[in-house]
Chain A
Amino acid sequence: MASTSEPAAAARGGGLTRRRRRRLVLGGEYGVFVIAVGLAIALADWHALHINFLNWSVARDLFPDIITIGLRNTVAFTVSGFVLGLVGGLVIALMRLSSALPFRWFAMAYIEVFRGLPALLIFIFVGTGIPLAFPGFELPGGVYGQAAVSLGLVAAAYMAETIRAGIEAVPRGQTEAARSLGMSQFRAMRTIVIPQALRVVIPPLTNELVLLFKDSSLALFLGVLLSQRELTKFGRDAASQLGNTTPILVAGLCYLLITIPLGYLARRLEARQKRGRR
């Protein structure tokens, strides 16, 4: 006993115990946080903020147009871009996994280029580059077509990598079983592997949808008509017209109305999948 009490005493005395150290660190963190918030509250011009950002009469006047025009177009751009991106991403993913070298090269180049460029550049390229390169050619749907293609080009690059990972996550035995039943490589891919792969990638694709919602704001660079404005453009126009920033805040809330539930859904799907896989 005597031999063990000596180091035990040394451990308790002198320096900080774990409990004391944790209290000290937590106390410091809360302290910094409270001071920062306090400073922000004390220094902000609440009157100006209230008039410019939280002006209820301005906010009221935005409805229903901000929903029926702004949000509606945002959703239209995003969903059409997502569908194009999904189809394109699947094709690129299959090319990436192809045994033909040129296909793999093309897919890798595509993914690197379109993931590496700012989405804004793609919008400008589609909006001005394509009409210049192919005179007389017009994407079907006008601005809607241009936005869908721009978003789809970007989304396809990200989704291709996600879908490829999903396809590779399907065990090889699945393909072998399908082939042993006489299915061709293509048939096995289409009927057995891809349905399983898509199930795996639904949560990450939902996150991709959230990203697209935000990127759809870049459509304002396409030169849209009044009825084609999406949320950001709508909010910005209203803000400069009224000389008040409240519309920006309302537009932001409209985004969150969509993106927060979507993010929640993605997390739920992911959790359910983890439980299901065992």
Chain B
Amino acid sequence: MSAIEIRDLRKTFGELEVLRGIDLSIESGEVVCVIGPSGSGKSTLLRCVNLLEEPSGGTITVDGVELTDPDVDIDAARRRIGMVFQSFNLFPHLTVLGNVTVAQRKVLRRDRAEAERVARANLERVGLADKVEEYPEKLSGGQQQRVAIARALAMDPAVMLFDEPTSALDPELVGDVLGVMRGLADEGMTMVVVTHEMSFAREVADRVVFMDGGVVVEQGPPDRVIASPEHERTRTFLARVLDPAAARVGEVDV
């Protein structure tokens, strides 16, 4: 059984059709990178997978639970889906430890000692065991994002979703976050990563999915999709991303 099964997913915002029939199935332990130009619907796709956006049509099944079923307890289902946001979204009124323990205690009803033990173990995992008592504003962007990853991991998720996790970071801080994600992938975590980091996609992903205009244009192993794409749209996009300086003014926008 697949960890994530998406069938004919559609999403419209008013008149705007953002997702136009996405079919995607992701195996347990698989790392999938979703790439594509901005406005292609890749973030919306990811946000639909834990129902932060309500799909307009189609079904989504995660870890055997059909999220799109109106009778499903969405709060219970979301506990099994970790999400990491572009803008970190740490809780600024809580310490690092508070950020990582709050949902364990209020949602999973773990006692304080147990929650803190799990939190410390996961902060260790992302290399921030020494920042436990700090408030988020004292941390760099890269550190904040790693806390956000630890916060999601503390819930023991079956899958992890990453929505452009490094796009808001200074370039020199990107490596730390990608390193943590690579570690997770090596441990066998099922991951869906929306990203512009082509080197990460090439080295870590089992599969790369290229989206444009609300549909999956092509997908396959990174060697094939990134190194020798079949579709013209994929080629144009990759040329732009891999060598941004080569673009000319007035070239067709991707």
User: Which residues of A are in contact with B by a Cβ distance under 8 Å?
Assistant: 171, 173-174, 176-184, 187, 191-192, 195-196, 199
Contacts and interface: CB of A to CB of B under 8 A. Distances in A.
Interface of B: 50, 52, 75-76, 78-79, 81-83, 85, 87, 89-93, 102-103, 106-108, 148, 151-152, 155
Task: Name the residue in A176, A182, A192, A196 with the highest tally of chain B Cβ atoms < 10 Å from its Cβ.
Answer: A182
Contacts of B89: 171, 173-174, 176-177
A195 B52 contact: no
Contact of A184 (B75, B108, B155): B75
A187 B91 contact: no
Given A176-B85, A177-B85, A191-B102, A182 B91 contact: no
A180 B78 contact: yes
Contacts of B82: 180
7 contacts: A174-B89, A177-B83, A182-B76, A182-B79, A183-B107, A187-B106, A196-B92
A42 to B, nearest CB: 59
Contacts of A192: 91, 102
Contacts of B76: 182
Given A187-B107, A191-B102, A179 B78 contact: yes
Closest 6 CB pairs of A and B: A182-B79, A181-B103, A177-B89, A180-B83, A173-B89, A182-B107
Contacts of B107: 181-183, 187
Contacts of A191: 102, 106
B106 A180 contact: no
Contacts of B108: 182
A176 B152 CA distance: 13
A165 B102 CA distance: 25
User: Which of A174, A178, A181, A195 has the most C-beta atoms of chain B within 10 angstroms of its own C-beta?
Assistant: A181
A183 B92 contact: no
A174 to B, nearest CB: 6
A63 B102 CA distance: 52
Given A181-B78, A181-B155, A199 B93 contact: yes
Nearest to A198: B93
A253 B148 CA distance: 53
